[in-house]
Structure 1
Amino acid sequence: MYGLIRVEHLNAWAGRYTTPAEFPRLIRLLLWALLRTPRAINFPADEAVRSAGYDGQLEIATTEAILPEGLSVWELGTNVRIKAKADEDYEKRTKDSLGVDQANTTFVFATPRAWPGKAAWAEARNEEKVWRRVLAFDAEDLVQWMELSPAVAVWFGRVAGIMPTGVRDLKGALEDYRLATQPEFDPAGTLIGRQPQVEVLLRTLTSEPTAIELEAANREEAEAFVGACISTLPQDQQDQQWARSLCVDDSDALRQVAAAGEQLLLIVGEWASPLPANARKHTTVRVVAPGKGTAAAIVLADPNMRQLIDWVEKQGVDLNEAFKRCYDAAGSLERVRRSYLRAGPPPPAWAQPEVAASVAAAVLVGSWNSSNRADQGFVARVSGVDYTLFEAAIGSWTLGADPLMTRAGDDWRVHNRLDVWGRLEPFLRTGQLDEFVRATAEVMLEPDPRFDIPPSDRWLANMHGKRRVHSEALRSGIADSLLYLATKSDDRQPCYSGVRAQDWSERCIRAVFERRREPHFWRRIRGNLTQLGEASPEPFLSALEQDLRELTCPLLAVPT
């Protein structure tokens, strides 16, 4: 990342009132990035800068990056009177070294400002021969160090308001993950039920450079998982990893970063194949979609449902809502999290015009059983294409953080149907609605064979082959569709042909209640009365009133 951070950036940053508390962290991260085997790096930041003692201490076994071996004590200054501050700190520590053996210790003064006189000052102090050696570093040195430490340069860019292109620091990505939702979701949630994956990743991070694949719902989950793993390490090991970790978003940035420094941790997308040759100097985590990784990939499986519900509740979500969201998301933490995003997520790929038209009928059907031939026929009739072709079209969109469908065995269900309805409604066709209206009454009024056997044996109905031709999943999906048409639709969409969407729903429901004179009418629709009544109260209440007026009320014959 050559040229990302320049001297003028550091000079401007030095004038901020927060810089004295942040400067020690910058030095600490740079040292962790530059040094391979430090014995100790201690630079307290934030509130700890008020503590007595040196601003920082470093101990290394051999000379690295122009820093001498052994112990060095550091004093940091950010104000404009650089030499006066350097003299003050030098004289104070020369008079009282706080027990440090000056003859065997290097004294270092560092400033984030440009200091043309640093070499002359250090030379003059070295002639006093009090300390083993005296060094001074300024903005020029820090810029050069950051050129060798791209992860730290990107981190500093975020702190200083300098936004690089194509790269993000991992610690910042972790903070973005937390702040993206309301309530805020702790990234540590990505570790739930994944201890074996955590152990594999941590071994990888502390080993020689290599390339691995990580199967995750999306980049956000993968980055949060890696960052949360690092957060489990001791503080000094965390600093070492943060100082070398980058999220890379495009191939140009990857080539630049891979050419700078060594032993970085680079998190890249599925697009990064093949990796550039110099990527072998770094540990590369390539994030791939579920099912797309090799046999050696780390797979982020969904956590146990009970653990997930407990975790979501701990983030400040009501228990009942957490239960519903987790089951709607089929146990996927990332799907639950995305339902709480402060700003809605970008449109998923299946909502793009080139795809949406071929899958839109799914939201009109809602749910069905793919092993049921009658269900297949209904779906084919509404979609207007052969069922096998339609299933192939939607089958590509069952994975990831924003799936169109979820599938459990042979049961298909539209995921997050209210959101999907809004995205796919513009792509529905009038012909599909016509077929839906014509076919709905046939399904909803299908007799229920369970009532042909004694009440005490009805729980064994499936074993006796007493089941409807169409599945309960399809009936439920249709009933919900009628409710969505009546309450959640946009009348301006072309598919409604200038007619209110509510009127389309009412046509379906009137067609059902017009047949109330048929035998066992109320028994047939008893499981879906709630949706039918809410979607169109007038036909429901009218039929109810007429039946109650009759001497022998058919409604009273409905089993409870």
Structure 2
Amino acid sequence: MAKKSFPLHPGQYVRENVLDRRGVNVTEAAKLIGISRPGVSNFLNGKVSATPDMATRIERAFGVPAKKILDLQSAYDAHAGKAAGTAQNARAYVTPFLNVQANDLVNWFTTTIQARTKLSVLLRTLVHSTGHDLEKVDFPGNDDAERPGWDGFVEAGSGTPWIPAGTSGWEFGVTADINDKANGDFAKSVKATKKADRDDITFVFVTPRRWTGKTAWIAAMRAKKLWRDVRAYDASDLEQWMEQSLAAQTWFANQTARPSSGVRTLDRCWIDWANVTDPALHPSLFSTANKVWGDRIKGFAAADRSEPLVIVADSVEEALAFLSQVLAEPELELHRDRVLVFDEPGVLPKFAQGTVDFIAVAHTREVEREFGPYSSVLRTIVVYPRNATNSEPDIVLEPLGYDAFNKALEAMGKGRDDLTSLAEASGRSLTVLRRQLSTIPAIRTPVWARDHETSSGLVPLVLVGAWDAQNEADQTALSLLAGDIPFEHLEKRVQEFAQLNDAPVWSIGGYRGVISKIDSLFAIAGAFTKADLNRFLDTARMVLGEDDPALDLPEKDRWAASMHGRKREFSGAVREGISETLVLLAVHGKNLFGKRLGFDGDLAAAKLIRDLLDPISTRKLEANDRDLPLYAEAAPDAFLDIIERDLRAAHPETLGLLRPADTGHFGSSTPRTGLLWALEGLAWSPATFSRVVKTLGRLSEVEINDKLGEQAYQLARLDLPRVDAADRSRS
């Protein structure tokens, strides 16, 4: 019978078919590949797996296709997974990073009382970041560290050098008498576990101390045959295990305030976000966002996608705090301990030399650009401030609803009076709330808000929100908002602001904008003058009152309006930015500027909407189609007054939007979309709900024979989610 052939480890293949045939030794190979000699030696001897980076380096050095190396690894892993005990002996190659030593572990865990409750968190991070086929991981830590039962419990479909295959129960302690603690936990666990269950469980004891009697203890406990197997790890073992986990090294560096080379864990991000106030910000501030976006995060974690997940919030700090909380959900915790947030460029490429078994997060464009070469092998998340991305985000974090906001603040010990004042002062934006409650001056009032000249210079930028720096009409609008300051001076001002720490502006290609309009609006409210607000209203009337020349073309040609020379002068960025500012002033203007400047944002917004739409015409409604939802949000009563009055007329102009949509060609449009979205938004509020019902009833009298007619029908039936309008924010 012929001898059965087993797949070669790719390291063995390279040694036998490349190095030996060419007479290249390990030292020479290491120089050619660009990886340390121990790293190459471990690979050639089959002790570590081939990574995409290693395969690419071998291809460049010796001409062996990277795909072949990775295919060999896949075949080897597939066989190893079937062979008991084989897969758990191979370790992934990880680039040396923070060089955590056993003595570091001993010193921190045994001399710091708080650190003792953190051992379970470190072990959980190690298991999640280095394990394979994990079915259950339970390591209660922090406040739950003293919970009865196993200190840790793991169910793994396949093993590693540190994690037993199958079921394992973990106990650990930091006391000086290690043998006594280990014996006590061993006996306690035997007593608490049925023999039939013990036959399938590996008992694991862990101590962050050095344990000279470890080997003898393991042998003695195994001899009792009370468990499937017995293992024990001490500080030396943890040092070696941590060498395989960038996430665990980063966690330890963050916990011990050691230099972490510009990378953070989500634990550290949460501390950085929440612990700047007294009391600390409460996790329940993200309870609504977790429910709304939890499935989207799950889908990302489960999918094999090459493009990044894009998250937008009022600040990047808020988005990172959200990630920390949503990934703390039990079904997502596995992924949380593999997430690394890169704060500085140049770090990610070093990490990816050895492993891509982590999820990378970028919150700066410099780091985001480094994702490119690894997009096919590395899962990535990109965080943007609101209005700073020119692509459609996957997740958008909105200000909290009243109920969620109040419950979270009550959990922080805030009273009824605090709830009202903080809601008004923050607009229920978590970024603004953090500034309001912060005990750190640099966070409470950033440099650009403390300096009057700087904050005054920001006023026109905040009012417009975003603009195309190469568009002459946009330049004119910005100059008018700034009191006729030449655009060239404003452009220079933007570039100076962009260099500030905690910069309030962004610049991408030819576009510019304010990072968080609501954050900036609240931070520099004291710099606004009545003249600034009047200039905004005049500029808004000019920009939003511009007709859409594309409407002069047949509907089938409107998608190519710019090619026909029928393009608006002002960019879509400016129109949208000014419409959003109008909403913010309507909602928060009286609170921010009422007493000092005598400004009523509600009244100003209502007057502007009437000027823009009254007298109403089908042409005006179509020209403002995309803006109608924001108009309705800014001035709900004025907007409905205009539509209702028109629908009572003999020949309502509004009904002109209810013609069948021309959907038979590329770029076709639906003239009624903006109006229906506006009405749906108003239907959330009890104050306008009944009026929307009547309006939709009148619109539903018109039969629209196209595929999109169902939209109006469903709205007319009020097929809308039933939630309290207080949970919707006009901001």
The interval holding the TM-score normalised by the smaller chain is: 0.5 to 0.7
Deviations 1:508-536 (A, max 9, x none): xxxxxxxxxxxxxxxxxxxxxxxxxxxxx
Identify unmatched segments of 5+ residues in structure 2. 1-95, 465-475, 495-503, 507-512, 536-588, 599-731
Q: How does 1:342-361 map to 2 (within 5 A)?
A: 342-345=439-442, 360=456
Q: What residue is the counterpart of 1:220 in the other structure? A: 317
Q: Which moved more, 1:142-151 or 1:253-262?
A: 253-262
Deviations 1:9-31 (A, max 9, x none): 11113324455543333323322
Task: Say whether the 8 Å CA contact 1:25–1:44 is kept in structure 2.
Answer: yes
Equivalent of residue 338 in structure 1, options 435, 457, 468: 435
Is 2:362 the counterpart of 1:268?
yes
Identical counterparts, % of pairs: 22
Deviation of residue 7 (structure 1)? 0.4
Deviation of residue 170 (structure 1)? 0.6
Q: What residue is the counterpart of 2:16 in the other structure? A: none
Is 2:195 the counterpart of 1:99?
yes
- Structure 1 residues 480, 391: CA separation in 2 closer, same or farther (over 3 Å shift)? farther
Is 2:134 the counterpart of 1:38?
yes
Deviation of residue 383 (structure 1)? 5.7
Distance 1:285 1:174 in 2: 17
Equivalent of residue 2 in structure 1, options 97, 113, 119: 97
Deviations 1:438-473 (A, max 9, x none): x99xx9xxxxxxxxxxxxxxxxxxxxxxxxxxxxx9
Task: Say whether the 8 Å CA contact 2:286–2:325 is kept in structure 1.
Answer: yes
Q: What residue is the counterpart of 1:399 in the other structure? A: 514
Deviations 1:240-267 (A, max 9, x none): 2332222221123323444455442322
Q: What residue is the counterpart of 1:189 in the other structure? A: 285
- Structure 1 residues 349, 400: CA separation in 2 closer, same or farther (over 3 Å shift)? farther
Q: How does 1:274-313 map to 2 (within 5 A)?
A: 274-275=370-371, 277-278=373-374, 280-303=376-399, 306=402, 310=406
Amino acid at match of 2:525: R
Distance 1:6 1:12 in 2: 10
Q: What SS does the aligned partner of 1:37 have?
A: strand
Amino acid at match of 1:225: F
Distance 1:19 1:304 in 2: 34
Q: Which moved more, 1:137-146 or 1:395-404?
A: 395-404
Equivalent of residue 168 in structure 2, options 51, 63, 72: 72
Task: Say whether the 8 Å CA contact 1:24–1:56 is kept in structure 2.
Answer: yes
- Structure 1 residues 337, 18: CA separation in 2 closer, same or farther (over 3 Å shift)? closer
Distance 1:362 1:106 in 2: 63
Task: Say whether the 8 Å CA contact 1:155–1:168 is kept in structure 2.
Answer: yes
TM-score by length of 2: 0.47
Q: What residue is the counterpart of 1:490 in the other structure? A: none
Task: Say whether the 8 Å CA contact 1:202–1:230 is kept in structure 2.
Answer: no
Task: Say whether the 8 Å CA contact 1:269–1:286 is kept in structure 2.
Answer: yes
Distance 2:298 2:386 in 1: 21
Q: What residue is the counterpart of 1:249 in the other structure? A: 343
Amino acid at match of 1:254: L
Equivalent of residue 112 in structure 1, options 178, 200, 208: 208
- Structure 1 residues 383, 137: CA separation in 2 closer, same or farther (over 3 Å shift)? same
Task: Say whether the 8 Å CA contact 1:29–1:239 is kept in structure 2.
Answer: no
Q: What residue is the counterpart of 1:179 in the other structure? A: 275
Question: Which is higher, the Rg of structure 1 or of structure 2?
Answer: 1
Amino acid at match of 1:266: A
Deviation of residue 392 (structure 1)? 9.7
Distance 1:165 1:103 in 2: 45
Distance 1:295 1:366 in 2: 21
Distance 1:55 1:2 in 2: 29
Deviation of residue 203 (structure 1)? 1.8
Identify unmatched segments of 5+ residues in structure 1. 369-375, 407-413, 422-435, 444-472, 483-560
Distance 1:13 1:205 in 2: 33
- Structure 1 residues 91, 169: CA separation in 2 closer, same or farther (over 3 Å shift)? same
Equivalent of residue 156 in structure 2, options 60, 65, 70: 60
Deviations 1:54-111 (A, max 9, x none): 4443332332335432333333232233345445555666688543555544332221
- Structure 1 residues 87, 295: CA separation in 2 closer, same or farther (over 3 Å shift)? same
Distance 1:325 1:105 in 2: 53
Task: Say whether the 8 Å CA contact 2:358–2:379 is kept in structure 1.
Answer: yes
Amino acid at match of 1:214: I
Q: What SS does the aligned partner of 1:164 have?
A: coil
- Structure 1 residues 182, 401: CA separation in 2 closer, same or farther (over 3 Å shift)? farther
Q: What residue is the counterpart of 1:138 in the other structure? A: 234
Amino acid at match of 2:429: S
Distance 1:297 1:19 in 2: 39
Q: What residue is the counterpart of 1:514 in the other structure? A: none
Q: What residue is the counterpart of 1:417 in the other structure? A: 525
Distance 1:208 1:112 in 2: 37
Q: What residue is the counterpart of 1:15 in the other structure? A: 110
Equivalent of residue 252 in structure 2, options 156, 163, 174: 156
Amino acid at match of 1:5: V
Q: What SS does the aligned partner of 2:441 have?
A: coil
Amino acid at match of 2:514: L
Deviations 1:186-225 (A, max 9, x none): 3443464785544323321343365222222222111112
Q: How does 1:197-208 map to 2 (within 5 A)?
A: 197-208=293-304
Deviation of residue 173 (structure 1)? 1.9
- Structure 1 residues 251, 128: CA separation in 2 closer, same or farther (over 3 Å shift)? same
TM-score by length of 1: 0.59
Distance 2:389 2:371 in 1: 15
- Structure 1 residues 2, 361: CA separation in 2 closer, same or farther (over 3 Å shift)? closer
Amino acid at match of 2:398: D
Deviations 1:271-299 (A, max 9, x none): 22131634654432111232333534224
Q: How does 1:379-528 map to 2 (within 5 A)?
A: 385-386=485-486, 399-401=514-516, 406=521, 416-418=524-526, 480=596
Deviations 1:20-60 (A, max 9, x none): 54333332332222222233334444676656654443332
Deviation of residue 334 (structure 1)? 1.4
- Structure 1 residues 306, 280: CA separation in 2 closer, same or farther (over 3 Å shift)? same
Amino acid at match of 2:393: A
Distance 1:172 1:263 in 2: 20
Task: Say whether the 8 Å CA contact 1:361–1:383 is kept in structure 2.
Answer: no
Distance 1:404 1:131 in 2: 58
Select the structure with the greater relative contact order (CA < 8 A; seq sep ≥ 6). 1
Q: How large is the Cα RMSD of the aligned pairs?
A: 4.9
Deviation of residue 391 (structure 1)? 9.6
Q: What SS does the aligned partner of 1:339 have?
A: helix
- Structure 1 residues 183, 86: CA separation in 2 closer, same or farther (over 3 Å shift)? closer
Distance 2:154 2:232 in 1: 15
Amino acid at match of 1:6: Q
Distance 2:415 2:188 in 1: 57
Deviation of residue 387 (structure 1)? 7.9
Q: What SS does the aligned partner of 1:252 have?
A: coil
Task: Say whether the 8 Å CA contact 1:42–1:56 is kept in structure 2.
Answer: yes
